[in-house]
Structure 1
């Protein structure tokens, strides 16, 4: 079976995460994503491109297993890599020659960069009517922040994520993953898919815009809506183990004898108290209603945890699941990857790579007729240049000339 985007060709001018994660989603769905990389094997900030480790031993050598490598490897599977110098006129002409056979261009440079290179939306759409052209930026194409560097932690600070995730003292805390990049990538892939549906119906291409700032704001969801429309002020998570600054307990992580347990339903307090062997807190006026339980959430947490620390996480989960409670263990990352549901859903996929077998996170979308798939490992730098150019009708002599001109 082939994915729903089989037959769709994407030129991927993206780096770091927001763009590459989006194009990887499209590649998982069957698109032929051609990653257009710099001719020199360097990262955008000038570091050596160590996608499989500086010594090509990522995953096996602790000293050669840096987060920088995972940033590339996690977001570039199912793609082919070509190199080109976009500041070389011969390199730009090469891309122009490819464009009539391309369905999507996806780029995440700062606003104006692709225009200066001669490959902005207007020029590309002129060469390929019906083109879907996606631009992923930090803040949008214009506005007061458009020329500022867009980066996940900066955007978390600007959009309130640090406050929603703050500690018990009100200190803002960044999220432990690149949440703005992840949301921006998902929004970008979704928007491109919608634009392709529109083109299939009308023949019209269009420009698609997505950015970290808007994606982070929109991702605040109900917490953002609540902050906009109520007089309750800035969020304050107290205690820090409480998951939401505005939700009464139980709603968070609670200590057990050997770890932590997740509880998330205020409708089950009576059942919870009976199982853990304490008085029914739902009958106590300090905890019987929404606001009283919210105001006394630290005392509620203390009482619950005093009882929970008498047994292990596994024991409590078994007892509570038997009564259909909203409960789960708080896994370590290793436990999460080994979890039976993870295995059942094929959410860890082993692939053979240039440095041996590595584990990849699976595709989280499931289509019965045209499923997503994890097929090929992240490419080596420029691995498919000759192969791809041949498919775009470049002769061996023309490819050799481009190499002699230092365009590829």
Structure 2
């Protein structure tokens, strides 16, 4: 195991998170060197009652098709560099274990529905009593209160509520969900950033605090320029002019365009003169239908038809050979397989291989670089309860206490 060297080395986090928004956040913190202790249910089941399948129900994930469900990838993608302990939070003995651990950690991170941690007896006020300097992070669907507080918080539901389905909609106007867990990832990033900021404040003042993050706010804020533009102008609801167009509020070229053998991405309205010359068509920058912002918005479908007719004459690689020397804003539209072996991905060490209980598996690398205190991918996601005894020993529990807790099924 590689020792952590990141800026959060020495920080200890008690992680009560499940699914993605919480676990992805604590994984980011663990990449930065924090010792993340993942507190798991004593019985190895997922939150919705499935058998624990982090490495496949038969420990054949990635090796056997039938045992390689996306459920496993969901756990593995968000839990590297962590240690796992199992505790029955509903037993008095299990709760006592947690209460002994809380004074020894810097952060408590949870993503249950509002009120669950309070009912378990380890809400913010109780944790603050046990550890006045604790940073206590709660990741929820919609925040700690408000009209949606009792609703289930889930990525696709939040995409629907916040307009992401609409901004990502197809050319017919039908809303389309994003192909990844967008709200979860954004919520995790905001949560990790907020916790790191709270730790910095504590380092300056000694004061802990409560941190709140939610899927809804994270997704809404990430509409960024497109959302702000809608709120402040009469542009109206987003509508793609063609299926390949990216932002409905940006005139073409801005999207993916068909070539002889695939697609090419073009994204700059400032290069229409160059594009026209390379495509060997009339200069569209001089055409009154396309020579400025609003005409291209109004005639976007026609613009796309004209350039795609020209693009279909050559392959993507052939066009890139002509465009790249002129610094055109152009790129191939990769498949997953192509993206994961892209030379830039390999150069940036964004695909790493780790030994796991089921053999070597590939993981994503760390997407940010610090030259003095680098983050690192050190260990594969833990097996269920793999580090229970280890963590308790480090935390002052005797072998007799550990044995007694096991006998009482508290851990």
User: Which interval holds the TM-score relative to the shorter structure?
Assistant: over 0.9
Match status 1:77 vs 2:80:
yes
Question: Equivalent of 2:318, from 315, 319, 330?
Answer: 315
Question: Equivalent of 2:126, from 123, 126, 135?
Answer: 123
Deviation by residue 1:72-115 (Cα, 9 ceiling, x = unmatched): 00000000000000000110010001111100000000000000
The 5 A counterparts of 1:338-349 are 338-349=341-352
Query: Could you tell me which residue of structure 1 aligns to residue 185 of structure 2?
Result: 182
Count of matched residue pairs: 408
Match status 1:373 vs 2:392:
no
Match status 1:200 vs 2:203:
yes
SS of residue paired to 2:194: helix
SS of residue paired to 2:270: helix
Give the drift of 1:147: 1.1
TM-score by length of 1: 0.99
Query: Could you tell me which residue of structure 2 aligns to residue 249 of structure 1?
Result: 252
Query: Could you tell me which residue of structure 1 aligns to residue 231 of structure 2?
Result: 228
Match status 1:272 vs 2:280:
no
SS of residue paired to 2:195: helix
Give the drift of 1:405: 1.0
SS of residue paired to 1:353: coil
SS of residue paired to 1:123: helix
Match status 1:327 vs 2:330:
yes
Question: Equivalent of 2:364, from 358, 361, 366?
Answer: 361
The 5 A counterparts of 1:6-405 are 6-405=9-408
Deviation by residue 1:335-373 (Cα, 9 ceiling, x = unmatched): 001001000100000001000110001110100000010
Give the drift of 1:232: 1.1
Give the drift of 1:63: 1.3
Unaligned runs of 5+ in 2: none
Counterpart-to-counterpart distance in 2, 1:64 and 1:254: 37
SS of residue paired to 1:207: strand
Moved over 4 A (4+): none
Which range is displaced more, 54-63 or 173-182? 54-63
Unaligned runs of 5+ in 1: none
TM-score by length of 2: 0.99
Give the drift of 1:215: 0.2
Counterpart-to-counterpart distance in 1, 2:49 and 2:94: 21
Counterpart-to-counterpart distance in 2, 1:248 and 1:104: 46
Aligned Cα RMSD in Å? Answer: 0.6
Counterpart-to-counterpart distance in 1, 2:410 and 2:150: 28
